[in-house]
């Protein structure tokens, strides 16, 4: 392995800028190439981040020996084909969330990575925050006892992204697959990856379908129809009797609210909007606010990916775990379509 991992950036949109900016804070990595289908956006990013090589086709970037790995920061429906091409070219892959459009595609990505002997890491950036890593460590040590329930609420009053996010053919869904993937993944990870067996969910599209609740980010075009949900509520049941619930919206007549909590037999914790620990000493309630230094979660994520590539180690957020997360999201979406509880088997 060279002194530095050469990371190619596929996509030059908002999330790619986070990756590029954060890569500057990392050691052992350089970004020699960036690719995007939009010539203006591509040139602007290349100039801003001093990236020497530009491409308008990811296959040209992958050809030859210019990069060792790629970061996929493109619309959801392109994750699978780009990743398959990357593995065929012998490159490691860091792929933005959601890993794929559904669990079936995610499994294909994992199989291709294994066949190529290359790393596939899901960019579930919430796992790389200081607070998440701290609380995960406490949970693994048994500080909270048995975490029997987790609840995630992420409500936006006006936050529907522009462009392809509103198109089910490109996105695979609305806030469930965009924001819900973070909430489900993070809580399931801290709970210790219990085996999901069933899901029930309901989705709504009242505001988005009527043109309300539009946000100010995303690609600047509007599809002809709004074909995804703008709000979802769901419950996932695990094999050992534990459960996880979410309420997520891009748009709703409510205040903006982000709240994640864990409920355990010995104690509980809040992950957001700030870290709190809830315990008891005898009959005394003890609430603690850990003093945690804030870090760049994207820099932590990219540094971890680079270190795993260099050392041949499995990452904290491997593609195999993302498959299970995608299966849970698939089951929620299927339940919402059918109005029934959906059995879920991830093996």
Instruction: Please list the pLDDT of the chain residue by residue as tens digits (347 residues).
Output: 578 999 999 999 999 999 999 999 999 999 999 999 999 999 999 999 999 999 999 999 999 999 999 999 999 999 999 999 999 999 999 999 999 999 999 999 999 999 999 999 999 999 999 999 999 999 999 999 999 999 999 999 999 999 999 999 999 999 999 999 999 999 999 999 999 999 999 999 999 999 999 998 877 667 778 999 999 999 999 999 999 999 999 999 999 999 999 999 999 999 999 999 999 999 999 999 999 988 899 999 999 999 999 999 999 999 999 999 999 999 999 999 999 999 997 65
Summarize pLDDT for 195-246 with one digit per residue, the tens.
999 999 999 999 999 999 999 887 766 777 899 999 999 999 999 999 999 9
pLDDT of residue 347: 52
pLDDT of residue 224: 76
Residue 301's nearest CA partner among 91, 19, 83, 86 is 19
Rounded CA separation 99/59 (Å): 19
Helix axis angle, 14-23 to 297-311, nearest 10°: 70
CB 318 within 8 A of CB 120: yes
Give me the residue spans of the domains in the chain: 5-124, 127-297+326-343
Assign domain 5-124 to its CATH architecture: 3-Layer(aba) Sandwich (3.40)
Hey, do 5-124 and 127-297+326-343 end up sharing a CATH topology, with the first three levels equal? no
Using CA atoms in the order 11, 16, 22, 28, what is the torsion angle rounded to 10 degrees?
Answer: -10
- The conformation of residue 180, written as its DSSP 8-state character, comes to I
CB 121 within 8 A of CB 315: yes
Rounded CA separation 295/63 (Å): 35
pLDDT of residue 48: 98
Q: For 127-297+326-343, which CATH superfamily applies? A: Dihydrodipicolinate Reductase; domain 2 (3.30.360.10)
Residue 152's nearest CA partner among 332, 330, 301 is 332
CB 329 within 8 A of CB 335: no
| DSSP three-state, residue 227 | coil
Rounded CA separation 259/140 (Å): 21
């Amino acid at each position: 392995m060279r002194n530095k991992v050469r990371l190619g950036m596929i996509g030059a949109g908002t999330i790619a800028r986070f990756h590029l900016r954060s890569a500057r804070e990392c050691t052992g990595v350089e970004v020699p190439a960036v690719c995007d289908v939009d010539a203006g956006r591509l040139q602007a990013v290349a100039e801003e981040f001093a990236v020497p090589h530009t491409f308008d086709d990811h296959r040209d970037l992958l050809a030859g020996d210019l990069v060792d790995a790629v970061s996929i920061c493109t619309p959801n429906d392109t994750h699978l084909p780009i990743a398959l091409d990357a593995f065929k070219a012998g490159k490691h892959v860091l792929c933005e969330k959601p890993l794929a459009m559904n669990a079936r595609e995610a499994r294909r990505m994992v199989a291709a990575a294994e066949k190529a002997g290359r790393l596939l890491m899901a960019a579930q950036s919430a796992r790389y925050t200081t607070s998440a890593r701290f609380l995960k460590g406490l949970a693994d040590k048994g500080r909270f006892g048995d975490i029997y329930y987790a609840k995630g609420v992420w409500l936006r009053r006006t936050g529907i992204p522009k462009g392809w996010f509103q198109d089910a053919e490109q996105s695979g869904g609305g806030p469930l697959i965009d924001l819900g993937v973070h909430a489900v993944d993070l809580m399931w990870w801290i709970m210790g990856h219990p085996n999901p067996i069933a899901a029930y969910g309901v989705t709504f599209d009242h505001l988005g379908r009527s043109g309300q609740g539009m946000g100010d980010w995303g690609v600047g075009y509007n599809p002809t129809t709004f074909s995804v949900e703008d709000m979802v509520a769901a419950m996932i049941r695990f094999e050992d009797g534990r459960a996880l619930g979410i309420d997520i919206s891009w748009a709703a007549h409510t205040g903006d609210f982000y709240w994640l909590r864990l409920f355990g037999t010995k104690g509980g914790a809040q992950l957001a909007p700030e870290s709190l620990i809830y315990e008891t000493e005898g009959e005394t309630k003890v609430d603690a606010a850990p003093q945690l230094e804030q870090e760049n979660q994207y820099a932590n994520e990219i540094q971890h990916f680079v270190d795993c590539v260099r050392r041949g180690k499995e990452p904290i957020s491997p593609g195999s775990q993302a498959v299970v997360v995608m299966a849970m999201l698939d089951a929620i979406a299927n339940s919402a379509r059918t109005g029934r509880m959906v059995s879920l088997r991830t093996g």
